[in-house]
C-alpha cells in the first residue's frame, strides 16, 4: 500500500504527459492516493514505534543499498498531509490556459516526490525523492507564475540548490561518521547504531551543523528565508499550496527523522544557535509581515514566520515539544494551503491582491470570506483548531526545557518572546482579512462571482482535519509520541544525570498525560511514574531553600533532610526532623490532583 501511495501520482503524471486527460486523470490519481494514505493512517498500530507496512527491494548488496519503504507515526502523518493538500491543490487548479498537461504533471511529480521522501527508509531515496519534487517547482513558477516570475524562479532555484548541496554533504558525512561495520543506507540501522553511541560527539556537532544549515535553507530558516515570500507570491496557487504546505516540511521531517535521534550531542551543542535563529523567524519576520501591502506577500512571510514555532518544538528536545512540532507541521500545512487556495481564486477574479485595491469582498463572495476566515482563525492558533494544540504543546515543552527555579533559562526567554509572536500573527492576519473582505466595496467588484460550489469540497477537505485534530489531539499524540519516546529518553539519560530531571522525563510524562485524555482516571503513583516521583523527593531533599520559606520550619542545621509532602489540598506540609522513609513519601491521590500540575 505504501508503494501504491508513492507511485500512483508519479504514474498518473507519466500518463498525462503521454496524452491522457489531464484534469480527470490527476483528480482520479489524487483521490486514490488520499484513500491509500487514509488507510495507512487508520491501520497503523499506535502501540509500536517501529516502521510498519515495510517493503524492501535490494539494489546493491555491496553498498547495502535497497529501495525500502514504510511508515511509522511520524511519516504516516506526513503522507496523509501530502495526500490531502495534493487533492485540494488539484481541485483548486481548474482549467489551465496553456500547457495544461505539463502543469498537472508537474503537480503530481511534486506530490509523488514528497510522499516518496516521507515514506523512504533508505537514506539515498530519502534524498532522491526530494530532488524529484524540486525540479517541477521551478518550472511551475517560471512558466505559469505571475508578476516577476522569472526572477523568483531563479532565486528559489539558487537557494534550494545550495541548500540541497549542503544537505548532501551532511548526509555523506553522517554516513562516513559510522564505523565501517555499521555503515548502511537503512535509516533503521543508522538509528540503532547511533543509539549505541557509535558517532563521536565531535562528529555529531559537525554533521548536525551541516544538516541544520541544509535543511534550514529548504525550510526558510532565518536568515535564509528571503526566497520563500517572493516565490510564493509569484507561483500559481496550486504550486504555492503544495510547496508551502508539503514540500517545505521535508526539511522539518529530516531534522526529526535524522538529526534529533542520531545526533543528540550535536543538537544540544547548537541549541542556542537554533533558538536565536528561530526567534528571527518569529519576531523579525513577524514584524516584516505586518509591513506587507499585498495579500500574497503577506501569506508568504506568514509561512516563514510560523516555521519558527516548529523549530522551537524541535529545539526543546523533549517528547512533548517535539510531538507538538509534528502536530503543528500537519496543521500549518493544511491552513496555509487553504489560505493560498482562496487567495489564488481572488487573484483569478480580480487580477490583483493589493490591499489598497480590495475591500468589502465578503458582500459578493460570502463563501470565500468564510473559507479565508477559517484559515485565518487556524493560522493565529484559535482554540478548536489543530494549530492551537500544536502551539500549546510546543510552548509547554520548550518552557520546561532547562528549567531552573532560581533563574530563567534561554528556552524560557525564547518561549516568552515566541508568545509575542502570536500577537504579531493575530495583528497581520486579522488586518489582512479586514482589508480584503470587510469595509466598503469598490464598484468594479460589485458583480464578482463567488467560489463555485465545487470548490467547497477542497475547502472542507482542508478544514475538517484541522477541526478534528484540534478537538481530538490525543489521536495524533498517541501516534506520534511512541516514535520519539524511545530515542529522546535514551539520548537524554546521560544529560539528565548531569542536570537533574530536565525536560526529557517531564516532557515524556506530559505527552503521556495528554495522550491519556478521555481515558479512565489512573493513579500516577500506581502507574510507577518513577521519574516524576524521584524528582519530587530529590528536589525536596537537596534544595534547602524550601525550609527558609516555610513559616515555622526548623533551621536547616537542626533537622535531618526530610521530604516535603503535599496534603490532600496540594498545600505543603511542614517538614519534621525525621529520617526519610517510605512512609514520608507523598501519598497517592486522585487523577486531577497531581497529574494536572
Q: What is the pLDDT of residue 491?
A: 54
Which of the residue ranges 42-56, 65-79, 277-291, 386-400 would you say has the lowest mean pLDDT? 42-56
Stretch 305-315: mean pLDDT: 92
Q: How confident is the model at residue 453 (pLDDT cuts 50, 70, 90)?
A: confident
5/150 same-domain check: yes
> Does residue 425 share a domain with residue 408?
yes
Q: How far is CA 29 from CA 13, 105, 139, in A?
A: 9, 11, 21
* Residues 497-550: tens digit of each pLDDT: 444 333 333 344 444 444 444 344 444 434 444 444 444 444 444 444 334 443
- Residue 451 sits in the same domain as residue 580: no
* Band of pLDDT at residue 450, cut at 50, 70 and 90: confident
Mean pLDDT score across all residues of the chain: 81
Reported as a single tens digit per residue, the pLDDT across 52-82 is 888 888 888 887 888 999 998 899 999 999 9
Contact in structure between 259 and 266 (CB atoms under 8 Å): yes
pTM for the whole structure: 0.80
CA 237 to chain centre: 22
Verify that 534 and 432 share a domain, yes or no: no
Q: What kind and span of H or E run contains 85?
A: helix 73-93
Question: Each residue of 414-443: pLDDT tens digit?
Answer: 888 999 999 999 999 999 999 999 988 888
Query: Which range of residues forms the domain containing residue 317?
Result: 270-517
Same domain, 575 and 594: yes
Percent of the chain with pLDDT over 90: 48
Interatomic CA distance for residues 475 and 319, integer angstroms = 16
186-215 pLDDT, tens digit per residue, is: 888 888 888 888 888 899 999 999 999 999
pLDDT at 241: 93
What total of structural domains would you count in the chain? 3
Last residue of a domain, one of 269, 301, 333: 269
Q: Which of 517, 547, 572 is the last residue of a domain?
A: 517
Residues 383 and 500 in one domain: yes
> Which residue do the cell numbers 479586514 mark?
434
Task: Classify residue 279 as exposed, middle or buried by CB count within 10 Å of its CB (0-12, 13-18, 19+).
Answer: buried
Same domain? 295 vs 264: no
209 & 327 share domain:
no
Q: Name the domain boundary from 481, 500, 517.
A: 517
Within its chain, how far is the Cα of 75 from the centroid?
12
Phi-psi region of 403 (alpha: psi -120 to 50; beta: other; left: phi over 0): beta
Closest C-alpha to 462, from 56, 89, 35, 55: 89
- Is the same domain home to 142 and 261? yes
- For residues 246 and 131, state if they share a domain: yes
Indicate whether 37 and 168 sit together in one domain.
Answer: yes
Q: Based on the domain organization, do 452 and 572 belong to the same domain? A: no
First to last CA, the chain: 43
Amino acid at each position: 500500500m505504501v508503494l501504491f501511495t508513492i507511485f500512483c501520482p508519479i504514474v498518473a503524471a507519466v500518463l498525462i504527459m503521454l496524452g491522457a486527460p489531464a484534469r480527470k486523470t490527476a483528480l482520479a490519481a489524487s483521490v486514490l492516493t488520499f484513500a491509500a494514505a487514509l488507510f495507512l493512517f487508520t491501520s497503523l498500530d499506535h502501540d509500536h514505534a517501529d516502521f510498519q507496512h515495510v517493503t524492501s527491494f535490494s539494489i546493491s548488496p555491496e553498498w547495502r543499498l535497497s529501495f525500502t519503504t514504510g511508515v511509522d507515526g511520524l511519516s504516516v502523518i506526513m503522507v496523509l498531509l501530502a495526500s490531502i493538500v495534493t487533492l485540494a491543490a488539484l481541485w483548486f487548479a481548474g482549467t489551465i490556459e496553456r500547457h495544461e498537461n505539463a502543469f498537472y504533471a508537474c503537480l503530481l511529480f511534486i506530490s509523488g516526490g514528497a510522499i516518496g521522501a516521507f515514506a523512504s527508509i533508505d537514506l539515498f531515496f530519502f534524498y532522491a525523492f526530494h530532488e524529484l519534487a524540486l525540479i517541477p517547482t521551478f518550472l511551475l513558477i517560471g512558466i505559469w507564475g505571475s508578476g516577476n516570475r522569472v526572477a523568483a524562479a531563479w532565486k528559489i532555484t539558487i537557494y534550494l540548490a545550495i541548500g540541497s548541496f549542503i544537505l548532501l554533504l551532511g548526509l555523506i558525512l553522517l554516513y562516513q561518521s559510522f564505523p565501517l561495520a555499521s555503515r548502511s543506507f537503512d535509516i533503521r540501522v543508522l538509528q540503532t547504531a547511533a543509539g549505541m553511541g557509535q558517532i563521536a560527539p565531535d562528529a555529531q556537532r559537525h554533521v548536525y551543523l551541516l544538516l541544520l544549515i541544509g535543511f534550514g535553507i529548504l525550510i526558510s530558516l532565518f536568515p535564509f528565508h528571503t526566497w520563500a515570500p517572493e516565490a510564493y507570491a509569484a507561483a500559481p496557487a496550486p504550486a504555492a499550496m503544495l510547496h508551502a504546505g508539503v514540500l517545505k516540511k521535508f526539511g522539518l521531517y529530516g531534522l526529526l527523522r535524522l538529526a534529533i535521534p542520531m545526533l543528540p550531542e550535536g543538537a544540544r551543542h547548537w541549541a542556542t544557535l537554533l533558538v536565536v535563529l528561530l526567534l528571527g523567524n518569529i519576531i523579525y519576520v513577524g514584524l516584516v509581515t505586518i509591513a506587507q501591502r499585498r495579500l500574497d506577500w503577506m501569506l508568504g512571510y506568514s509561512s516563514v514566520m510560523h516555521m519558527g514555532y516548529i523549530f522551537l518544538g524541535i529545539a526543546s528536545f523533549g517528547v512533548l515539544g517535539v510531538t507538538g512540532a509534528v502536530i503543528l507541521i500537519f496543521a500549518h500545512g493544511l491552513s496555509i494551503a487553504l489560505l493560498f487556495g482562496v487567495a489564488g481564486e481572488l487573484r483569478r477574479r480580480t487580477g490583483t491582491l493589493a490591499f489598497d485595491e480590495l475591500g468589502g469582498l465578503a458582500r459578493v463572495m460570502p463563501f470565500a470570506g468564510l473559507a479565508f476566515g477559517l484559515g485565518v482563525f487556524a493560522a493565529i492558533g484559535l482554540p478548536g483548531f489543530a494549530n492551537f494544540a500544536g502551539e500549546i504543546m510546543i510552548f509547554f515543552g520548550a518552557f520546561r526545557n532547562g528549567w531552573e527555579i532560581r533563574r530563567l533559562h534561554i528556552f524560557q526567554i525564547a518561549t516568552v518572546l515566541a508568545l509575542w509572536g502570536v500577537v504579531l500573527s493575530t495583528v497581520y492576519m486579522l488586518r489582512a482579512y479586514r482589508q480584503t473582505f470587510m469595509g466598503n466595496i469598490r464598484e468594479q467588484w460589485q458583480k464578482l462571482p463567488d467560489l463555485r460550489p465545487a470548490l467547497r469540497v477542497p475547502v472542507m477537505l482542508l478544514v475538517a482535519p484541522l477541526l478534528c485534530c484540534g478537538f481530538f489531539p490525543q489521536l495524533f499524540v498517541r501516534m506520534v509520541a511512541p516514535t520519539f519516546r524511545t530515542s529522546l529518553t535514551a539520548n537524554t539519560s546521560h544529560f539528565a544525570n548531569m542536570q537533574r530531571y530536565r525536560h526529557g522525563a517531564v516532557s515524556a510524562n506530559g505527552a503521556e498525560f495528554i495522550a491519556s485524555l478521555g481515558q479512565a482516571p489512573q493513579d500516577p503513583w500506581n502507574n510507577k511514574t518513577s521519574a516524576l516521583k524521584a524528582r519530587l523527593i530529590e528536589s525536596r531533599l537537596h534544595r534547602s531553600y524550601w525550609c527558609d520559606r516555610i513559616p515555622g520550619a526548623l533551621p536547616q542545621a537542626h533537622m535531618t533532610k526530610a521530604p516535603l509532602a503535599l496534603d490532600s489540598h496540594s498545600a505543603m506540609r511542614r517538614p519534621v526532623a525525621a529520617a526519610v522513609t517510605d512512609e514520608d513519601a507523598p501519598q497517592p491521590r486522585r487523577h486531577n490532583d497531581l497529574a494536572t500540575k
